[in-house]
Amino acid sequence: MSHTIFILNGPNLNLLGKRQPEIYGAETLADVETRCRALAESLGVTVALFQSNHEGVIIDTIHRAREEAAAIIINPGAFTHTSVAILDALNAYDGLVFECHISNVHKREPFRHHSYVSGRADGVMAGFGTEGYELCLRRACSLLSKA
Ligand code: CA2
């Protein structure tokens, strides 16, 4: 059976490639989507990508994943550092969870060093630029193929 993997992006990530390229790189979210779709096809899985600036919409999408996705790759954006509600939603999800940050949050301001999501995540990616999404996708597929 072909697996579906959700790739969720939180607030402001719609601006990827349009502002602050020194931190987040030059690729847009559409570029990330194109590369993840191509990789997913070669790995034999389906990806569904989402971006929202709204915490509740992200939570609703995690709830959808309970029925629809074998794994979630999530970049919660700034909600990483604030949202117990997103952690609670992920704790109610049984599949694999990968937390993906474009920048190395540990090299940045101290308030970015803590993540509510990391304690639930099966893997955490930080500082690999937008390539991190593909690395998470590879890892998710590798674990799903062994399950
Ligand atoms: O490094 C990451 O991926 C972050 O999750 C990005 C968040 C930040 O709050 C986290 O601490 C680390 C911010 C996303 C904002 O994205 C933008 C992209 C381009 C231009 C402006 C904002």
| Residue of the CA atom closest to atom 18 of ligand 1 | 16
CA distances (Å), origin 133, targets 103, 109, 121, 143: 12, 23, 14, 15
Report pLDDT digits (tens) over 89-117. 999 999 999 999 999 999 999 999 999 99
Question: CA-to-CA distance for 95 and 66, rounded, in angstroms?
Answer: 8
Span 136-142, average pLDDT:
98
> For residue 103, which atom of ligand 1 is closest to its CA?
1
pLDDT value at residue 2 = 86
Ligand 1 pocket test target in 103, 106, 133 with most atoms within 8 Å of CB = 103
Which of 28, 86, 104, 105 best tests ligand 1's pocket when mutated (most atoms within 8 Å of CB)? 105
Query: In terms of pLDDT, which residue wins out, 21 or 54?
Result: 54
Q: Give residue 1's pLDDT.
A: 63
pLDDT of residue 144: 97
- Two tokens, residue 25: 């790189």
CA distance 105 to 17: 18
Please state the rounded mean pLDDT for residues 18-47. Answer: 96
Give the per-residue pLDDT at 29: 97
Q: How many CA atoms lie within 13 A of 79 on its CB side?
A: 29
Residue 31: closest CA among 139, 129, 140, 126: 129
What SS3 class is residue 12?
coil
Question: Could you tell me if the CB of 64 is within 6 A of ligand 1?
Answer: no
Kindly give the distance from the C-alpha atom of residue 78 to the centroid of ligand 1, in angstroms, as a whole number.
7
